[in-house]
Structure 1
Amino acid sequence: MTIQANYITEMAYTGSVSYRHIRCFLEVARLSSVGQAATALAISQPAVSKTLRELEDRLGQRLFERSGRRLRLNTAGRLFQSHAGQSLAELERGIRAIAHPGAAGRTIAVGVLPTVATEVMPRAAQEFRRSAPGTTLRITTGPNWLLLSQLREARLDLVVGRLAAPDQ
């Protein structure tokens, strides 16, 4: 199936799409399961099914291919997912910025060892973004000596990892 530039104007869009629709859609897309999405969203399976049905009806498009209890995004679903994910992320950033207005514009420089960078930092950075919207996290990886040197020079605000005792 080819999606053309005039795709949106040709579909039968009827009604508004809510935050609830987008969250539900993205969880089902991520987990490929209504049941698992219901658990993740802390709502019932019928509520997830109803929300997906409403969304598809409002968009005038089916977004998933259904195979038993598994759902897989179809072409329209993949297209919608990319835009819905970006929209939801921006909306949540805006909500957090309002909740934490003083955090906007700050940068925190973190030094991490390479092992920490791959094992710990992805999840830590994600949690940090949630808790400190508007604050930029700048991550530098490197060996102990470099990170400690940059910390002493105030080029880093903190260093994370199992570090050897400093020489000085």
Structure 2
Amino acid sequence: MSIELRHFRCFLAIADTLSITRAAERLHLTQPAVSRTLRQLEQELGLRLVDRSTHHLALTPDGITFRDQATIAVTAFDQALRHAHRTVRPLRLGHAWSAAGTYTPALLRRWHRSHPDTPLELLRIDDRTAGLARGDVDAALLRGEVRAPGLLTERLTTEPRVVGLPADDPLAHRPALSLADLAQRTIALNTVSGITGLDLWPAAARPTSTITIGNTDDWIAAITGGRAVGVTTSATAQMHPHPAMAYIPLTDAPPVPVVITWRDGPGHPRIPDLIALAREVIGGRGVRP
């Protein structure tokens, strides 16, 4: 057997989601097919890439190293195909949730007026870098610290944190909440693209009950269904209002940075223009719709 591009894509889907099930959904394959493809890749390389010894999948040290190399290879292949088939290609801007918040319409409209020859496509992709690390987009609007190798970032603004609660929750009528108010509650944690973890709480007062979800829609469903409460930023409240949900300011948690991120190396020629526009619109300099 020889290694093919599909083996790289399968492994990267597993590395992004840390789940055979979610990787299969992303690739539109069955779970056995994903497991078999990963096993073939490991056998051909003579390396163990994924640790399956726990309830949750984890990359081995060899898997972490190979992920970075596989990302470079797949990105280069995809870029070569796009260049061959398009003379003018869209600029793809990824986000994991809430895009640029309330600045989103202004960003898109200003780009359309300034660069009508280059469409700006806004894509929601549910992973930590909104598809940037694996080459699905040219740049991304992200929240929180970006640790993926080979990426450059510029901070644009910060957003305060809020608590998402069922609208009929006893705490939903408070003007503000603290982390201590949530310590005895079940917390919904988005482990795929979210920025809230249990380390947000002091070590001695962390919640002991959590549920794991993989995207904003499931996060909202878990909360409005009464299964949990959650912590997010003000942009979620602005972009995802819900009649069965209340968003309450969280007073004692640090604000979340909003950054624009792009790959360190050759990329779409319009990326510098996008960074400059995001700096103006989201960073608050020269904003107009």
Q: Establish whether residue 136 from structure 1 lines up as the match of residue 122 from structure 2.
A: no
Gaps of 5+ in 2: 92-98, 108-120, 124-131, 140-266
Q: 1:27–1:118: structure 2 CA closer, same or farther, 3 Å change rule?
A: farther
Aligned counterpart for 1:43 among listed residues 29, 35, 42 = 29
TM-score norm. by structure 2 comes to 0.37
Q: 1:1-26 deviations in whole A, cap 9, x for unaligned? A: xxxxxxxxxxxxxx532110000000
Please state how far the C-alpha of 1:70 moved relative to its aligned partner: 2.6
Relative distance call for 1:35 and 1:145 in structure 2 (3 A) is closer
Amino acid at match of 1:21: H
Give the counterpart of 2:4 among 18, 36, 44. 18
Which has the larger strand fraction?
2
Change (3 A) 1:117 1:50: same
Q: 65, 71, 83: which one pairs with 2:69? A: 83
The residue identity in structure 2 corresponding to 1:75 is P
Q: Which structure has the highest helix share of the two?
A: 1
Q: Does 1:98 align with 2:232?
A: no
Match of 1:71 among 37, 40, 57: 57
- Partner in structure 1 of residue 122 of structure 2: 124
Q: Tell me, which stretches of 5 or more residues in structure 1 are unaligned?
A: 1-14, 108-114, 148-160
Distance 1:16 1:86 in 2: 19
Task: Find the residue that maps to 1:67 and give its secondary structure.
Answer: coil
Closer, same or farther in 2 for the Cα pair 1:16/1:119, shift >3 Å?
farther
1:87 to partner: Cα distance? 0.9
Measured on the aligned residues, the alpha-carbon RMSD in Å equals 3.6
Say if 1:103 and 1:135, in contact at 8 Å, map to a contact too: no
Q: How far apart are residue 67 of structure 1 and its match? A: 3.2
C-alpha distance in structure 1 between counterparts of 2:22 and 2:284, whole Å? 45
Match of residue 150 from structure 1:
none
Give distance in 2, aligned partners of 1:78 and 1:71.
13
Question: In 2 relative to 1, CA 128–78 (structure 1 residues): closer, same or farther, beyond 3 Å?
Answer: closer
The structure, 1 or 2, with the larger RCO (C-alpha pairs under 8 Å, 6+ apart) is 2
CA distance in 2 between counterparts of 1:117 and 1:85 reads: 29
Distance (whole Å) between structure 2 residues aligned to residue 90 and residue 51 of structure 1 = 21
1:43 Cα deviation after fit: 0.5
